[in-house]
Amino acid sequence: MTLDSARINWGKLLSRILLYFVVSVICIVILYPYFVMFCTALKSRQEIFSIQGTIFPKEWMWSNFIDIWQKAPMAQYMLNSIIIAGGSTAIAMICGIPAAYALARMKFKGQTAFLGFIIVSQMFAPVVLLIGIYKVMQTMGLTNSLLGLIFINAAFNQAFTIWLLRGTFMSISAEMEQAATIDGCNRIQAMFKILLPVAAPGIVTTLIFIFINAWNEYTVALCLISTDTIKPLTVGINIFNGYNIIEWQYLFAASIFAIVPVVILFMSIEKNLTSGLTAGGVKG
């Protein structure tokens, strides 16, 4: 082995060690709050408010994860969140896919202005429009209902859906659809049979982001929902936040259950994020 090759190997080794170190530090910083939340969920109330408290519980109170199901209708809260997130995701995708396809493949008057409007609409946070949203929902009779939250979450994620899917569709060669039209497919058939299967990774990524945004939504749900039985999980766990004391052990235990569905969703479709691209889609 020559001196130059040895230097190159040492350089690669050191760079890889540095990369692993940086990645490990980032992972620790990101996961540390969840670790503290998990440890706190396993403590008793006395230990949480103890002056000489530590991160690890002295007595592991696994019963806290059982107690929250008895102290609050957690199953109903989770079901409500699944309905809201799933419904808003479905509506946003059903409306967003045709709009993104039109913006990616068709030319029409006002296209640039429409794209600009989509970007501008992302600048407004839900809290800024909260009074207007409440008035509109009240007029439509959708306050204090799951359907109202589904429509609102779908509307707030619509611009993001269109913008992200438009970029996905534009990255796919139009020659694939042209070949399908030559074989007898119309534009709609070409979109469903050719474009959407190839764009599956981008569609799955968009679906994940929409679902997570709808699942985590809190402000609008807090203002629109007053009936306890139709509250989403993000609002329902406030039952452990009392006027005189906050039951941190139950609040963190419920928060861990709120994270689980999103993690399961991501793990179940994670493989689609890196597969099914356009390789081999067009003959040379």
113, 231: one domain: yes
Nearest to 42 by CA among 63, 71, 24, 20: 63
Domain of residue 19 covers 3-41
153, 117: one domain: yes
110, 175: one domain: yes
Is residue 98 assigned to a domain?
yes
Average pLDDT over residues 20-30: 92
pLDDT band at 76 (very low <50, low <70, confident <90, very high): very high
pLDDT band at 280 (very low <50, low <70, confident <90, very high): very low
> For position 266, what pLDDT does the model report?
75
Is the pLDDT assigned to residue 207 strictly greater than 80? Answer: yes
- At 258, which CATH number? 1.10.3720.10
Task: Please state which of the ranges 25-39, 113-127, 234-248, 266-280 shows the lowest mean pLDDT.
Answer: 266-280
User: Count of domains in the chain?
Assistant: 2
Contact, 66 vs 42, CB < 8 A?
Answer: no
137, 226: one domain: yes
Is residue 282 assigned to a domain?
no
- Type of residue found at 63: S
176, 104: one domain: yes
Find which of 7-11, 197-201, 242-246 is predicted with most confidence, using mean pLDDT. 197-201
Helix (H) or strand (E) holding 177: helix 175-182
27, 109: one domain: no
The DSSP line for 8-24 is HHHHHHHHHHHHHHHHH
User: Which residues pair with residue 246 across a beta bridge?
Assistant: 241
Is residue 222 assigned to a domain?
yes
Is residue 238 assigned to a domain?
yes
Task: Give, in degrees to the nearest 5, the angle at Cα 232 between 229 and 234.
Answer: 130
What is the average pLDDT value for the chain, to the nearest integer?
A: 82
27, 133: one domain: no
Q: By percentage, how much of the chain surpasses pLDDT 90?
A: 16
> For position 276, what pLDDT does the model report?
38
How far are the Cα atoms of 19, 93, 126, 141, 143 from residue 146, in angstroms, in the given order? Answer: 46, 19, 17, 12, 9
Is residue 189 assigned to a domain?
yes
Is residue 127 assigned to a domain?
yes
Residue 170: CA count within 13 A, CB half-sphere: 13
79, 198: one domain: yes
Distance CA 136, CA 161 (A): 23
User: Which residues pair with residue 241 across a beta bridge?
Assistant: 246
pLDDT band at 281 (very low <50, low <70, confident <90, very high): very low
236, 135: one domain: yes
240 versus 282: the higher-pLDDT residue is 240
Count Cβ neighbours within 10 Å for each residue of 75-105 and write b for 16 or more, e otherwise: eebbebbebbbebbbebbbeebbebbbbbbb
Task: Please state which of the ranges 206-215, 235-244, 269-278 shows the lowest mean pLDDT.
Answer: 269-278
Nearest to 49 by CA among 186, 243, 246, 206: 246
pLDDT band at 25 (very low <50, low <70, confident <90, very high): very high
Is residue 50 assigned to a domain?
no
Torsion of CA 104, 108, 109, 114, to 10 degrees: -30
pLDDT band at 282 (very low <50, low <70, confident <90, very high): very low
Distance CA 225, CA 144 (A): 4
pLDDT band at 117 (very low <50, low <70, confident <90, very high): confident
133, 190: one domain: yes
64 versus 282: the higher-pLDDT residue is 64
152, 24: one domain: no
Find which of 151-160, 168-177, 187-196, 274-283 is predicted with most confidence, using mean pLDDT. 151-160
Is residue 256 assigned to a domain?
yes
pLDDT band at 182 (very low <50, low <70, confident <90, very high): confident
100, 165: one domain: yes
Is the pLDDT assigned to residue 5 strictly greater than 70? Answer: no
